[in-house]
Structure 1
């Protein structure tokens, strides 16, 4: 399952990477430049050499991205201990884990390069991550269907094309992905509800809201205290973002435990 899930995630990422760097989306509007961040790299000079700061661009916002990779690795190995004999469940956890592992590197690359095509890549990869939540819900609510999963991911990836037609195309499409994931999770929870999944769902929604809100209020938060010019709204939004990667599988773990108990009692 580790290799199979890696292969499927890699195929998706390779296609997105090739198209991102083909120049097709060079007209898409993205946030580039340090002026979009409240973090002040010069404040880190007493702790880091100037060369390191020049390379990292935004030390706190760059290094915090390791959180995505750590959470992703956790879910890659979590399933080995908890779902022995349930290969389909293991597969979904591992795909989600691989997305987390790679997304940490993608976010890091965007920060340290501040290049447009890395920004496009960062935006684009977000969409299949959310779509996988919807696919995961359907696999439990209905049945595991590789063709359906592939179709959903293809639709998700193709939807990024909306960015070519409107400057807020990404925000609209991302909102649709988030709404689909939340509604799918609520429908699934109504059939296999338990306190573990309920808490995880609430925390995941809070993290999603925190990710969006803290990022939008980055400069306003930075005016509150110099501390938030070291660790800005963008920094805290990334923590909220990768904590989504933790709570979403916790939600599914609770759902799966309930379903397995129901099946065992039948």
Structure 2
């Protein structure tokens, strides 16, 4: 756990350093509450000005801590634990970035909110490769560095981030399907389907944030809020899927 935490922090500090250098000043990010359908509550402190979209970030932290405390497989495997812990730490550290973005409406956390999404998705193929080929540090480093560099698309095209994110989602799903075919069973297939369904909800509900707010049930618990709930479930079922496959792979290798 300590190694996983230190490695994620190193990448985190590197990204923050680059983002504060001004290299991403031309990236288009939303810096007003008008971007969100949820109404602000003026009498609450800034960190709860948009209460539901702020508090939903506690879900990432709770889910990440839960998975940090879980074992992977039937036997102790330091590499399996490391792969799992990196993913869990990513989830935990992503939450305050999103929360600070809502609180401050400033460029730095808005850029980091977008940027960190990419290496999180990229860790799914890294874990899939671990299931099929064992731990490959060079592969993991190459995928994560490539993922971080892909945010450069946002500098050359106003929809560059969305293009990069779409490619990451496609890569993760493709690798998930591939490893399911090789090692999976009915239970892992169910987890994969739920993870993909949660991903679809994450994307669709965020896009439908304002249209859904026309209807009373979605004026407080808005589409953006429910998209974050789907994102937490997307993390959770990805953990379910990948830890189960890791266990299945271990048994086959014995």
Aligned to 2:9: 10
Which consecutive segments of 4 or more residues in structure 1 shift more than 3 A?
Answer: none
Query: Normalising to structure 1: TM-score of the pair?
Result: 0.92
Q: Does 1:251 align with 2:250?
A: no
Q: State how many pairs are aligned.
A: 254
Residues 207-261 of structure 1 show CA distances to partners (whole Å, capped at 9, x for unaligned) of 1110111011111111111x31211111000000111110111101221222122
* Structure of larger gyration radius: 1
Q: Does 1:187 align with 2:178?
A: yes
Aligned to 1:177: 168
Contact 1:135 1:149 in 2 (8 A): yes
* Segment drifting more, 255-264 vs 111-120: 255-264
SS in 1 for 2:29: coil
Structure 1: 5+ residue stretches without partners: none
Q: Distance in 1 between matches of 2:188 and 2:24?
A: 38
- Equivalent positions of 1:87-126 (< 5 A) are 87-126=78-117
- Equivalent positions of 1:16-165 (< 5 A) are 16-42=15-41, 50-52=43-45, 54-79=46-71, 84-165=75-156
- Structure 1 residue 61: Cα displacement: 0.4
Q: Distance in 2 between matches of 1:259 and 1:55?
A: 44
Query: Normalising to structure 2: TM-score of the pair?
Result: 0.96
Structure 2: 5+ residue stretches without partners: none
Q: Distance in 1 between matches of 2:44 and 2:178?
A: 51
Q: Distance in 2 between matches of 1:21 and 1:198?
A: 42
- Structure 1 residue 83: Cα displacement: 5.2
CA RMSD of aligned residues (A): 1.4
